[in-house]
Amino acid sequence: MAAQAPAWPFRYNRTAAQWTRWLALAQAALAAGAAAWAFAAPAGLKPGADDPFILLETVQLLFFIAGAIVVARWLYVAGANARAMGATDMMGSPAWAIAWYIVPLANLFMPFVAMRELWRASADPRDWQAASAPAILILWWLCWLASNIAGTVAFRLEWEGDATMLGAVGTAQTISNALFVPAALLFAHIVARVQAMQDGQGPAQLFR
């Protein structure tokens, strides 16, 4: 009888983790630059209204899209690897850790819950529900949420097209960028830690 393949074979994920971290750091740098520029820009240039800012926003958007693709790939494989290491009764399939980001209302808390679960399962796969998760996870999620809320406010104000609201749009964008910096830095740290925990427990031949 042929040996049955495990439901979740352990897969090499270190390269995706590195790309995820680099893109998170690049996005943090861009957001910090955008926030600093908003303060230092010459009089008359308004964030969200003038060409240099639009160019910067476009670059940020491109990095965000690239980052989202790489993060999705890393999250999926990391979730599958946690299961391959012996974690049972995790939430749904690894794909849910990604899908939660686009489910209305649930995207306010479920991505955090999924990331906390991934951390615990990576720390102690056999008894992950007894493992603890550090406070940086909460800090990351609060910064991410606050940054997104400020970004949404900026987008909605800009969408209204009221020229008198340009100052408020700029302020909301600057707040969003400023909060995105710690969110991205903490995320890069979380990815590094989770990956290190999984590397320490995965099949040795994958890491030679």
Q: Which residues bind other proteins (CB under 8 A)?
A: 88-89, 91-92, 104-106, 110, 113, 117, 126-127, 129-130
Question: DSSP assignment of 32-51, as one string?
Answer: HHHHHHHHHSPTT--TTTSH
C-alpha–C-alpha distance, residues 96 and 113, integer Å: 11
The nearer residue to other proteins, 66 or 91, going by C-beta atoms, is: 91
Task: Provide, rounded to whole angstroms, the least separation between the CB of residue 127 and other proteins.
Answer: 5
Task: Provide, rounded to whole angstroms, the least separation between the CB of residue 93 and other proteins.
Answer: 9
The nearer residue to other proteins, 8 or 19, going by C-beta atoms, is: 8
CA dihedral (48, 55, 45, 146) positive or negative: positive
Helix axes 136-160, 166-199, angle to 10 degrees: 150
Helix axes 14-40, 166-199, angle to 10 degrees: 160
The alpha-helical segments, DSSP class H, found in the chain are: 14-40, 51-84, 96-99, 110-123, 136-160, 166-199
The nearer residue to other proteins, 59 or 110, going by C-beta atoms, is: 110
The nearer residue to other proteins, 51 or 89, going by C-beta atoms, is: 89
The nearer residue to other proteins, 16 or 115, going by C-beta atoms, is: 115
The nearer residue to other proteins, 58 or 129, going by C-beta atoms, is: 129
Task: Provide, rounded to whole angstroms, the least separation between the CB of residue 87 and other proteins.
Answer: 11
Task: Provide, rounded to whole angstroms, the least separation between the CB of residue 197 and other proteins.
Answer: 18
Structure tokens at 205: 């031949």
Task: Provide, rounded to whole angstroms, the least separation between the CB of residue 105 and other proteins.
Answer: 6
C-alpha–C-alpha distance, residues 159 and 185, integer Å: 29
Task: Provide, rounded to whole angstroms, the least separation between the CB of residue 16 and other proteins.
Answer: 25
C-alpha–C-alpha distance, residues 44 and 22, integer Å: 34
